[in-house]
Structure 1
């Protein structure tokens, strides 16, 4: 553990520790994204249990839908179990660069969604992965025309429906009706 590192002001939640992995202190992490490259490449992780602190990652690898990791100072199963439930964060500066028209899910959260007619559909509150592609979960509680959706609209995050993402203007334009 490295308590002397200053807490970065750009921490991004990337997963949570779901339990121990084996008996030698490895932890199992459930990533918040299908692509765990940022987590796997970062040398220092920040965990919030018992309080926010930096932990050096010695080794990490994909294990099915999870990531398993060996961390400095976590020497046995009991120490690994003590971290169960901790949120794992890393500095945004450590994220790998993306190509054109690629986005980290965390960058889409909070963006306003409007259709091609300029009607507001709501705000991206979450994303989920259905196996084929990501799906935007749009909170529609402030949109009277979307009342039939019971406060949530699910929009596939694919080129056919998503026409433009403007991170500067914090908007996503979609080919989607308010009555879909």
Structure 2
């Protein structure tokens, strides 16, 4: 038996949000940019124990995604999966181009402004209509919201664990 991957090696792509039909299909709330991209992974690892489930198929259904998992053949078995996170190993994610990052890679990085003042650490990202926003934990119980842009991505230094942004400390 192979050793379990380190928790930092997982990326959560969605969660099981309901049941669909009578043959064991599940509704999926996908966190992927294109909702049906979650269907591109042959194995989903569900719940905190990361139990592997084979994906037999799936499709867009209205605004959401429905999927059929191996060995889930009825509503009750599907119902038992509701609320479970769907994860994959980071090594299974597609390779990104230069200047592109997965948000999960950026969470936890230190944020500095161009003057070298530490503003906090990235705690999350928000997707808004106009542009994405970094949520920064200022370490004092507060948050800063800083727009994510091409300029911000140019300041990412993964090796140093930081992002340099054009943002003043008193904004």
In structure 2, distance between residues paired with 1:65 and 1:93: 28
In structure 2, distance between residues paired with 1:165 and 1:64: 37
In structure 2, distance between residues paired with 1:92 and 1:36: 18
Deviation at 1:53, TM superposition (A): 1.0
In structure 2, distance between residues paired with 1:65 and 1:127: 22
Task: String of CA shifts for 1:74-111, please: whole Å, max 9, x gaps.
Answer: 11222211111111110111101111111111101100
Give the match's secondary structure for 1:27.
strand
In structure 2, distance between residues paired with 1:41 and 1:157: 27
Check 1:122–1:64 CA distance in 2 against 1; reply closer, same or farther (3 A cut): farther
In structure 2, distance between residues paired with 1:19 and 1:102: 32
1:146 alignment counterpart: none
Deviation at 1:33, TM superposition (A): 3.8
Give ranges in structure 1 of 5+ residues lacking alignment: 143-149
Check 1:5–1:76 CA distance in 2 against 1; reply closer, same or farther (3 A cut): farther
2:86 alignment counterpart: 88
TM-score computed with the length of structure 1 as normaliser:
0.82
5 Å-filtered alignment, 1:1-180, equals: 7-9=4-6, 10-36=9-35, 39-48=38-47, 51-63=49-61, 66-142=64-140, 151-180=142-171
Give the match's secondary structure for 1:107.
helix
Check 1:54–1:114 CA distance in 2 against 1; reply closer, same or farther (3 A cut): same
CA contact (8 A) 1:18 1:30 kept: yes
CA contact (8 A) 1:25 1:76 kept: yes
Aligned residues: 169
CA contact (8 A) 1:137 1:152 kept: yes
Deviation at 1:167, TM superposition (A): 1.1
1:147 alignment counterpart: none
